[in-house]
Homo-oligomer: A and B are copies of this chain.
Amino acid sequence: MISVDQALQKIMARLSECRPTECMLSNSVGHILAEDVQSDIDSPPYDKSLVDGYAVLAEDVKQDVVLEVLEEVLAGQTPTKSIHPKAAIQIMTGAPLPPDASAVVMVEQTSRDQQKVIIHQDTIQPEANIMRQATSLSQGETILSQGTLIRPIEVGILAEIGCTNVPVYQPPKLAIISTGDELVQATTTPQAGQIRNSNGPLLQALATSFGAEAQSLGIGLDNFETLSDLVATGLESDILILSGGVSAGVKDLVPAVLDRHGVEQVFHKLKLKPGKPLWFGVLSSADRQTMVFGLPGNPVSSLVCFLLFVAPVIFRMRGKTSECLQETTACLTADFQQRGDRPTYFPAQLTERNGNRYVTPLAWKGSADQRTLSEANALAFFKAGNQLYPNGEEISVFKIPS
């Protein structure tokens, strides 16, 4: 069996190129810029005042000097006069500076007497409270580079430079099929031998939270033809996830159905606990391809396999270069006995106290114990091989994004 790293390499080797598209500025948060974006304007568009106050010649400013107020310039207006010695023009924050002005005295440092203003400060530096044209943005200059993650801050910047149709990478389309005759929809009360399909909603929420356009195709019963029809629909997506049906059970039809549709198996099973039965393959045609993941049917294995293998694919297809799972270290709060020949990613709770990080592997009652996962915000990592990790030992931990 291959290792986690080998599996990830084999998956990443099959990634297709990111596809550029455009989205509206108001929907762009979380996307990655697919192109450099240039400014079409200077910002400020003119020399401007950073405060409410009086534009002056800096050399005129001294305690109790009286200047003549030539005019008042409001936001949205332009000054009509130049500053000359012993004169001032009242302007507002953001207003264009009158020609020849070399500083702005804050209104709080003045008092007004009709067409006169009295200055109450000893001196002022030239350029004080002035922002010169194009200090922040210069026309034609690249302001945000390809690969930038768009946060609310970048939305403000894109608005400032008039980029309202934003070039971004297209989120991958992802389809989910939950397989198994025992499954019923979450809205149904399960009868004897049935369980609710919780993997479908879990995987759809995970895929959406990592930025895929995720769609659940519902429950695929353990019947070759029915499952095959659903898979045909799923293969129209960029990523198809099948949950269940890939372990060694008698009716595990998934690999056979995928084979019929021409999906090339890249690997099946790997050294990983939980998640050993993971199946991965690719369907390629001239113009497009679908990456197909057969995830183990239990929720914890599903979660681990999704985070380790599917999430990075979504990230890369969206143009993200950051890691899906942030790795850190933390001290165990209890002994942990690791057994067996597979590295383990164990659901755990990561906490921080006084700048120190602690990790508590959960009291996990086995692979079907989904409920205990609600306490998990991390995966604690233990290498393959029988080993007792004592309380207090520093281990690797991967944070689960919330």
Contact = CB atoms under 8 A, between A and B. Distances in A.
A154 to B, nearest CB: 6
Contacts of A161: 196
A160 B157 CA distance: 43
A399 to B, nearest CB: 12
A92, A107, A152, A206 interface centre (most CB from chain B within 10 Å) = A152
B156 A195 contact: no
A136 B193 contact: no
Number of copies of this chain that the complex holds: 2
A202 B197 CA distance: 40
A310 interface: no
A159 B93 contact: no
Nearest to A91: B249
Contacts of A111: none
Interface string A333-375: 0000000000000000000000100000000011111111110
Contacts of A96: 192-193
A74 B222 contact: yes
B192 A370 contact: no
Contact of A156 (B159, B202, B209): B202
Interface residues of A, number: 97
B371 A137 contact: yes
Contacts of A143: 371, 374
A402 interface: yes
Contacts of A312: none
A355 B77 CA distance: 52
Contacts of A299: 156, 160
Interface string A179-198: 01110001111101111111
Contacts of A204: 26, 155
B198 A159 contact: yes
A199 B156 contact: yes
Interface stretch (A11-19, A36-44, A81-89): A36-44
Interface of A: 25-26, 29, 40-41, 43-46, 48, 50, 52, 72, 74-78, 90, 92-96, 107-108, 131, 135-137, 143-144, 148-149, 151-164, 180-182, 186-190, 192-202, 204-206, 208-209, 222, 247-251, 297-299, 303, 329, 355, 365-374, 376, 400, 402
6 contacts: A43-B371, A76-B182, A94-B182, A152-B208, A156-B373, A157-B373
Interchain residue pairs A-B with the least CB separation, the first 6: A76-B181, A156-B202, A152-B205, A92-B249, A159-B198, A76-B182
